[in-house]
Amino acid sequence: MLRGSTRALRPLEVPLTHPGPMPGGRGMRGFSQDRDVARRRLATGTLRRILTFARPYRAQLAVFLVLIALGAAAGALTPWLFQRLIDDGIATGDTRTVVTIALVVAGLAVVSAVLGVAERWVSARIGEGLIHDLRTAVFDHVQRMPLAFFSRAKTGALVQRLNGDVLGAQQAFTSTLSNVVSNALTVVFVLAAMLSMSWQLTLLSLVLVPVFVLPARWFGRKIAAITRESYELNAEASQTMTERFNVAGAHLVKIFGDPARESAAYADQTGRVRDIGVRRALYSTWFRIGLTTVAAVATAVVYGVGGLLAIQGELTVGVVVALAAYLGRLYGPLTAMSNVQVDVMTALVSFERVLEVLDLEPSVAEKPDASDLRAAVAARGASLDLDHVGFRYPSADEVSLASLESVATLSRDAVADTLHDVTFHVPAGSMVALVGPSGAGKTTISQLVTRMYDPTRGAVRIAGVDLRDVTTASLRDTVGIVSQEAHLFHDTIAGNLRFARPDATDDDIERALRAAHVGDLVASLPDGIHTVVGDRGYRLSGGERQRLAIARLLLKAPDVVVLDEATAHLDSESEAAVQAALDEALVGRTSLVIAHRLSTVRQADLIAVVDAGRVVELGTHTDLLARSGLYADLYRTQFAPTPASA
């Protein structure tokens, strides 16, 4: 029956705080970043591979750069126009010149606005396109990774590659490129204009540049350190919420936890986030105030010295006003450019982290000339063969990345074989049961049949075809599995079942539910098949989840069924219901059944007894009991009469 619903919560998101843009500059975002990244060496070929992602956007990038150049030129032209307006219009009393230049300045402002909008539109097209391309590439690649990859990688670290690192990589072609080009052009245009007006005041202005740049770099290091610490503290708080807010974690806290202790621990974490946020805000404020003050002093110097020169007749009033205006457009870009290496390398390192995932080759891959397994099954039936199969699980360095496991280096230690020379044959439509002690290798065999892994030696065949030679899609259509932990997404019952067959109609779903002996239960729910099952299906009991998993299998209608401890954790009543559904699911299908409870496999056509990675006995239930081997020992352990019942 339905339990209390749960609601998925997003992890705490941390914005990248930075002091903000200076007048006339393209931002100061580098000051909140880690300057140590500038000393990192990129892997050979990274830049070339980055350019391959930009290739589809070459025309748009060219337009983008032209718009940036036009915007920088328009910004540099305005103070010169003011100089002409003052000297040629106001000073001479020429009203026509004043009106004409004022209209030109107004028109230039409109043009600048249009250029800004156009630049932002092109930037968004490039940036969002790159985000789409990178995320799709990473998502598609990760889906092809073997199960061992997911068993080792931290989910949060993997998601970070799809979110944070992809966004950082995208900035290489949008904000970083825009900042570098625009700031460089602005400095060139402004300095050229200033030198043409007064080289003396221009040199005096440049003398004050270190007063801008040096504090900027010092504050940048402090803000970067605080930002890193803030990220770490927020990550801790996010991890706490993630662990406590999922169903299993919340259940554990309610059983063993102390609400007051949990609240105090979380309050301590968020309190440290609060305190460091205040420090970061204070440093950023001092930084902005300091730069604003220095800019004001520099402007005062220009007006003072320039005013004296104007009184002496060496400069005009318009030139002094224009130089002061240019000064406001000079220091921002110069200060931002002092951190350009950090900005560029941050974006490139993000790209490298994305490429790192894309470079990890899947150990289970589809061959270019792979065949369709369904054709072979239709022609010869879904027989199952394991032919002298040996297998060892891959080592960490074969399937994972150190950065996804939060370790310095991955282990290269040799891994012992799990399976040794496993051989048996299952005719089409028959059932083979795998039994044996825990850790014997039964689940490993099932994972080879579903091609979660490829055998190290030998071959696994269906309909006489090696699974390494068939397409992934045809294998998924041919083989279905029900495990002991039936996983359901936070979706409706219909949505979970359609995951196996997207084109299934509501009638198809209801027929599968009835065949799985769960149709009446679903029909009794207020929303029927449109009922949301909650996080991991937790609003349903274990037996109900298992029967929904069986319904999903029936909807898919595979030719080969793998049951991995499908009734292991159920009570007697639920087990009976699930077993009835399984009997329905196995009719006419080749099946591989794994069970600790031997009562569920006595009707199997063949029983393979697995011990220490080897098939030590093979036969029917009656034959194996008569041999008085391991199977007979396991059977007696489960079903021998107790002294009270003897």
Highest average pLDDT, of 235-249, 439-453, 523-537, comes from: 439-453
Indicate the average pLDDT of the chain. 80
Interatomic CA distance for residues 328 and 296, integer angstroms: 9
d(Cα 90, Cα 96) in Å, to the nearest integer?
Answer: 10
| pLDDT score at 646 | 39
What's the pLDDT at 251? 63
Domains and CATH numbers, the chain: 29-358 (1.20.1560.10), 373-639 (3.40.50.300)
User: Which residue is associated with the tokens 């590659």?
Assistant: 161
pLDDT tens sequence across 326-376: 887 887 787 777 667 666 777 777 777 788 888 888 888 888 999 999 999
Contacts 24+ apart (CB under 8 A), 249-258: 250/6
pLDDT at 20: 37
Q: Which of 424, 581, 563 is nearest to 480 (CA)?
A: 563
Q: Which residue has the tokens 């799709």?
A: 136
Reported as a single tens digit per residue, the pLDDT across 619-645 is 998 899 999 899 888 888 876 554 444
Nearest of 97, 85, 111, 103 to residue 325 by alpha carbon: 85
Residue 236 exposure: Cα atoms within 13 Å on the Cβ side: 14
The one-letter code for the residue type at 618 is: L
Contact 28, 336 (CB under 8 A): yes
Helices within 458-561 (DSSP H only): 472-478, 493-498, 506-515, 519-524, 542-556
**CA dist 13 to 10, 17, 78, 130, 440, Å?**
8, 12, 41, 22, 44
**CA atoms of 279 and 276, how far apart (whole Å):** 5
Distance (Å, whole) CA 131 – CA 197: 45
SS3 (DSSP) at 309: helix
User: Any idea what the Cα angle at residue 185 is, between residues 134 and 320, rounded to 5°?
Assistant: 145
Q: At what angle do helices 247-256 and 209-245 cross, to 10 degrees?
A: 70
Neighbours of 296 (CB within 10 A): 11
How high is the pLDDT of residue 204? 82
Q: For 380-413, how does the pLDDT look when each residue is reduced to its tens digit (9 = 90+)?
A: 999 999 999 999 988 877 777 776 776 656 666 6
pLDDT above 90: percentage of residues in the chain? 22
- Per-residue pLDDT tens digits for 530-580: 998 887 777 888 788 888 888 888 888 899 999 887 766 566 766 677 777
pLDDT confidence bin for 25, thresholds 50/70/90: very low
3-state secondary structure of 12: coil
DSSP-derived letter for residue 25 is S
Task: For residue 418, give the 3-state DSSP assignment.
Answer: strand
